[in-house]
Amino acid sequence: MNQFSYVRPASQKAAIDAIFRDNTARFIAGGTNLLDLMKNGVTAPEKLVDINRLPLKDIRFSNNILHLGATTINSEVAAHPLVKTHFPLLSQALLAGASQQLRNMATTGGNMMQRTRCSYFYDITMPCNKRSPGTGCGAIGGINRMHAIFGASDQCIAVHPSDMCIALAALDATVIVAGPKGGRRIPFADFHRLPGNTPEKDNNLGKGELITGVEIPANPFTRHVYYLKVRDRASYAFALVSVAAALDISGSTIRQARLALGGVAHKPWRLYEAEKMLTGKAPTEENFRIAATVATRSAATFQHNAFKVPMAQNSIITALSKAAAI
Ligand code: SF4
């Protein structure tokens, strides 16, 4: 690990100034991903700006909106009665992620900022356009069974690793950001990026911007929800495919559906067409099967990951069936 300095600003403004003035500085909260990246030599910040003392630990439901501060701990959010009652999909997704020990350290903002687990990204002897732009991509033509089936580019085929973010995408969350020019709000669907020609950029944060929180509007998805994670082992593994499914069912009709996939793209992959197809339909396995086909029409696979297409289809059918309890 390289030498670095460590500061613990007393105010949000001081934290933002510290990052804005120094291109090599990084915010740190739980550090559950950043410290691994530093130990592996993937990143080498010369300054860490600790935001843990800023007043960003907040779990509050007001004006029909759930407010989560950026430094709220994943395990506290997952277990909070407000979240379990009004946003059970988020609680399920958080509990599917990492391990209890990691969830006790990881924060809401950090979860959103975590980087891909592509093994070539972590192996500094291999080419990787995300780690070192212009060097090539070890995964294209390499072992790519974990990689993307949606939205990849010829520069990068990595996937976003979070479970929490898949639920936040399905629940139409908004990211609250503070920066040198003031605050702004970013719809969750626009926060993470596809790789395109700039795979080194995971998200649309500007220079010096700090995530201060996330907001989730109240919704009718309190009963018929299910987060399904398919992975190589039962715990402490990243998703091959995950599904966040939420249904608003009245009688025998789906009034609204929300569906998002994890483990398949460089960002949480919302399935808008499948949601539209399900609206107004009966919650039957046949309709879920059609939705799964619609959802995977644009999939494009690589040498080792074609299995992810039927896996995604079956996972969508299973998650929707569990959510509907049919
Ligand atoms: Fe790097 Fe992306 Fe290629 Fe993985 S898929 S080696 S992260 S460029």
- The CATH number of the domain where 305 resides is what? 3.30.390.50
Count of domains observed in the chain: 3
* C-beta separation of 277 from 204 below 8 A: no
Pocket of ligand 1 (CB under 6 A): 116, 118, 120-121, 128-130, 137-139, 156-158, 199
Rounded to two decimals, the pTM is 0.98
Indicate whether 206 belongs to any domain. Answer: yes
- Atom 1 of ligand 1: nearest residue by CA position: 128
38 and 181 fall within a common domain: no
Q: Is residue 140 part of a domain?
A: no
Same domain (yes/no): 266, 241 = yes
In whole angstroms, what is the distance from residue 92 CA to residue 129 CA?
33
Range of the domain at 86: 59-113+162-217
pLDDT tens figures, 226-268? 999 999 998 889 999 999 999 999 999 999 999 999 999 999 9
Per-residue pLDDT reduced to its tens digit, 268-287: 999 999 999 999 999 999 99
Structure confidence at residue 101 as a pLDDT band (50, 70, 90): very high
Task: Report if residue 305 sits inside a domain.
Answer: yes
- Between the CA atoms of 234, 237, 242 and 248, what dihedral angle is there, to the nearest 10 degrees? 70
Q: What pLDDT sits at residue 235?
A: 86
Q: Quick one: which H or E segment has residue 34?
A: helix 34-39
Average pLDDT over residues 212-221: 98
Domain boundary among 152, 182, 217: 217
In a domain, 294, yes or no: yes
Residue among 116, 146, 304 whose CB has most ligand 1 atoms within 8 A, to mutate: 116
Q: What digits encode the pLDDT tens for the residues 143-185?
A: 999 999 999 999 999 999 999 999 999 999 999 999 999 999 9
Please indicate, yes or no, whether residues 100 and 173 belong to a single structural domain of this protein: yes
CATH number at residue 11: 3.30.43.10
Residue 127 falls inside a structural domain: no
* 149 occurs within a structural domain: no
Q: Cα(158)–Cα(192) distance, rounded to whole angstroms?
A: 13
**What pLDDT score does 9 carry?**
97
Question: Which pLDDT score is estimated for 307?
Answer: 98
User: Do residues 248 and 311 both lie within one domain?
Assistant: yes
On whether residue 142 sits in a domain, the answer given is: no
In this structure, are 285 and 183 located in the same domain? no
The reply to whether 196 falls in a domain is: yes
Out of 114, 117, 135, 137, mutate this one to test ligand 1's pocket (max ligand atoms within 8 Å of CB): namely 137
Same domain, 177 and 97: yes
